[in-house]
Amino acid sequence: MNYGEFGGQYVPQELKEKLNEIAKEFRKAKHNKEFNKEYNYYLKQFVGRPSPLYLAENLTQYAGGAKIYLKREDLNHTGAHKINNAIGQILLAKRMGKTHIIAETGAGQHGVATATVCSLFNMKCTIFMGSEDIIRQRLNVEKIKLLGANVKSVTRGDGTLKEAVDEAFEYFVEHKDVFYLIGSAVGPSPYPEMVKYFQKIIGEEAKKQILKQDKKLPKAIIACVGGGSNSIGLFNDFLKEDVEIFGVEGAGKGLNSGKHACAIYDNKIGILHGMKTYIMQDNSGNVKDAYSISAGLDYPGIGPEHAYLSTIGRVKYDSVTDDEAINAFKIVCKLEGIIPALESSHAIAYGLKIAKKYNKEDSIIVNLSGRADKDIETILNLK
């Protein structure tokens, strides 16, 4: 895929060979009717798709302005969008004859999704997770173990998602039987393209649903962005339409605090995890520590397609602070009876901000990318 100057394969030769093998098989598989039939079967019968597009009437009334629709990825099996991609990639791994799946995880949702599909297809599973995230996301760690996977604690650096990805890549290079099931639209080619292919179902469904329910396209669509899989999944089918598109990064304690996870705001291009993209780095080119209350947004880079969409101006990338996300979380809990993940709460907070700029007959779609089982302890510790 062409993402302008972004993307690529900035990796050692031995890893390039593995990546090119995956790319070759993926490009064959995505044009294979049987592969797509099997993928769609599991999306429907195992994941529970299509996920609803829900008109949040109370939230709409609270915000004033456009109707707010929530794309309910939280209702998927395992509680987030991550399962869409996990199903697709494990079917590819099975097709390639791989027997050992590895994955990285921050918030734990991708770890749970990967462990789930490995259980389903009887494959060995190792999940790399930063030591700090293991503490923050204890419930998901226990779920991963119950599903039969091994959780490998990564203690280097900050002990968060970046370090988990680093260690997973090292393991991938060293072991022949391994398939690395990356959870976000990041990393060297073909991963950004592949993850988008398995997540674009979100936008395909949302577009059909809004046209059926509202009889017209929305004025805007909004999703949170860490690496960017739930967002690119929603955005893809709307990119050629006359629809405003917003990606929301985690502003943490504030953009001037030095404690945030806004790679595009940092406006520096570099190499991270085998891709060229916007990354948080200091003047010496060292990757800076990312911070967000949401473990899934706590990543110092962004997927290369997002970097490209920002550069050409098709998508506007903005940010929401921890406090704004927590406030939105509480509002949705009280008004809609839905407990959204802290990642999704960033997108909801932004949706509440911009709803007022549209008319009451207009609509906006917010991707509710996951539920908050994993975040309850974080929320309780704020008190």
Q: Based on the residue annotation, tell me whether 82 is a catalytic residue of this protein.
A: yes
Q: Based on the residue annotation, tell me whether 104 is a catalytic residue of this protein.
A: yes
Q: Which of 82, 196, 207, 374 is catalytic?
A: 82
Q: Which of 67, 71, 104, 249 is catalytic?
A: 104
- CB-count burial class (<10 Å; 0-12, 13-18, 19+) for 327: middle
The amino acid sitting at 320 is: V
DSSP string spanning 168-196? HHHHHHH-TTEEE---SS-SSTTHHHHHH
Please give the C-alpha separations between residue 202 and each of 21, 366, 372, in angstroms, as whole numbers.
27, 11, 19
Q: Based on the residue annotation, tell me whether 369 is a catalytic residue of this protein.
A: yes
Instruction: Return d(Cα 221, Cα 223) in angstroms, integer.
Output: 7
The amino acid sitting at 227 is: G
| Chain mean position to CA 110 | 9
Q: Which of 196, 292, 369, 374 is catalytic?
A: 369
Whether a cis peptide bond, with omega within 30° of 0, leads into 50 is: yes
Continuous segment of H or E residues that includes residue 101: strand 100-105
Residue 133, SS3 per DSSP: helix
DSSP string spanning 222-236? EEE-SS-HHHHHHHG
Q: What is the token pair recorded at 358?
A: 């549209």
Q: Could you tell me if 288 and 301 are in contact, meaning their C-beta atoms sit under 8 angstroms apart? A: no
Q: Starting from the edge strand earliest in sequence, which strands make up the sheet with 100-105, in order?
A: 150-154, 124-130, 100-105, 178-180
Which residues are annotated as catalytic? 82, 104, 369
